[in-house]
Amino acid sequence: MKEKFAKLLLGEDMSGGGKGVSSALALSNAITNLAASVFGEQRKLEPMPTDTKLRWRKEIDWLLSVTNHIVEFAPSQQKSQDGTTMEIMTTRQRNDLRMNIPALRKLDAMLIESLDNFEGPNEFWYVSKNEKDSNNETSQRHEDKWWLPTPKVPANGLSDAARRWLQFQKDSVNQVLKAAMAINAQVLSEMEIPDNYTESLPKNGRCSLGDSIYKSITVEFFDPEQFLSTMDLSTEHKVLDLKNRMEASIVIWTRKMTNKDGKSHWGGMGSTVSLEKRELFEERAETILLVLKQQFPGLPQSSLDISKIQYNKDVGHAILESYSRVMESLAFTVLSRIEDVLYADSVTQDPSLAETKSKQSSKVSSPLCEDDASNSAETPNAFTLSDSMGWTMAPAETTTLKKSESTNNLAVATPKGGDNEKIMTKFANIVTQKKLSYLEKIENLSGLRSPTGRH
């Protein structure tokens, strides 16, 4: 512990020359590296080794203990000996930490418990990648994930009970994933945009997007799905580039609207675009980002997110962001392993699915997108973009997007009588009432909200 905290105090500069990173970034890196060393080898659906589990609990407690000393003043009543009461200011843990740290610890425990559920004999097993695969139907998926052992199921597939149990585990982990995504999005939205990021941006949205994208996003009737169908999203790099362009244009338009007095280069001097249109364009760009987040949930962090994390000075935000991010990563890892087993079972039941899946995977750029697409196909209650944003689509005319009141709760279907039912229903209560914004749209898409809502 002394060694770890010495590295944090030195800002990862072991020479002691004072050239290290900020405390916030040092803590963020420490949590990220710890999670990578603990969860990086989770290649199968099996419980974590006891010593690894104990190490994770011990060291993450060390790093999270910093948040106990991040406090804020709060009014309190004090009664003196003579019976008079006076108002004094006392310190308490900062509100966002007081709400989110226990929630993240709960998600942490649920994920580890989910892995523990796979202890003992199961109806599926794994074969090494070096072993000859006699089942040709699973060879394509084996090649796509060559570094992982291949799951196998009996010749007649999983039993109905095992299949239902696996589906329940998948749904449970999926809710954890959505909750972690909601908290991470909340924290990132609260981080300040670094000056060096804004200084690197062009002075108008057209330059950021490019002429073709700008023309597509400024048409009179805008359909996000049609817009994305015209974009080249064949590789992860191209999807990430589009995301970076959209986020940059949103920052530019927001700065222009907030500096509309024209006293800075972000102002509206010499601009032919009205504030109302800029607000409309910003909303459309946010919609595109939301669709990208839905279709490619496994995308790497954008330039804006990386810049925020790198230059963030708020230690509380750094801990919340990194902790929620590693929980999101672990949840997806477990979800993907469950999906691999369900895929092997579905191919056993219907070998024709293997060829279809092979064709689909050749068009998928994000490693998460393949599983996400199958999740949407297999889950009858899966949210669509229109559902998550509260929009209604006109079927017989050019699509015009109209906002309506958004859903604030997501009912989680779980088997009756189980402990997981009590845990899962708690997520539906993590809701705040506030004005609909891009963050709320992300949270509605996830079906869950961050426990804190300070905006």
pLDDT in tens, 421-438: 444 444 434 333 344 455
pLDDT on residue 350: 77
pLDDT on residue 364: 37
pLDDT on residue 18: 80
Mean pLDDT across the stretch 363-390? 37
Of 43-57, 202-216, 312-326, 403-417, give the lowest mean pLDDT range.
403-417
For 140, the token pair is: 């394509």
For 353, the token pair is: 């699915």
End-to-end CA distance of the chain: 36
Q: How far apart are CA 253 and CA 304, in angstroms?
A: 15
Sketch out the chain's domains with CATH numbers.
22-71+87-130+145-259+274-353 (1.20.58.2010)
Q: How far apart are CA 99 and CA 169, in angstroms?
A: 26
- Measured CA distances, 39 to 112, 246, 290 (Å): 10, 32, 28
In total, the chain counts a number of residues equal to: 455
Which one is predicted more confidently, 44 or 388? 44
Count the Cβ atoms, other than its own, within 10 Å of residue 330.
24
Of 128-132, 150-154, 275-279, give the lowest mean pLDDT range.
128-132
Which one is predicted more confidently, 451 or 194? 194
Helices (H), 200-314: 205-209, 211-217, 224-229, 236-258, 275-295, 303-311
Q: Is the pLDDT of residue 404 over 60?
A: no
Which one is predicted more confidently, 201 or 455? 201
pLDDT on residue 408: 32
pLDDT in tens, 54-104: 999 999 999 999 999 999 998 988 888 888 888 889 989 999 999 999 999
pLDDT in tens, 12-65: 888 888 888 899 999 999 999 999 999 987 888 899 999 999 999 999 999 999
pLDDT in tens, 215-270: 888 888 888 888 888 888 888 899 999 999 999 999 988 887 777 544 444 444 44
pLDDT on residue 96: 92
pTM exceeds cut of 0.85 = no
The model's confidence at residue 309, banded by pLDDT at 50, 70 and 90, is very high
Mean per-residue pLDDT of the chain:
76
Q: How far apart are CA 291 and CA 428, in angstroms?
A: 23
CB neighbour list of residue 330: distance below 8 Å, 6 or more residues apart: 35, 39, 42, 111
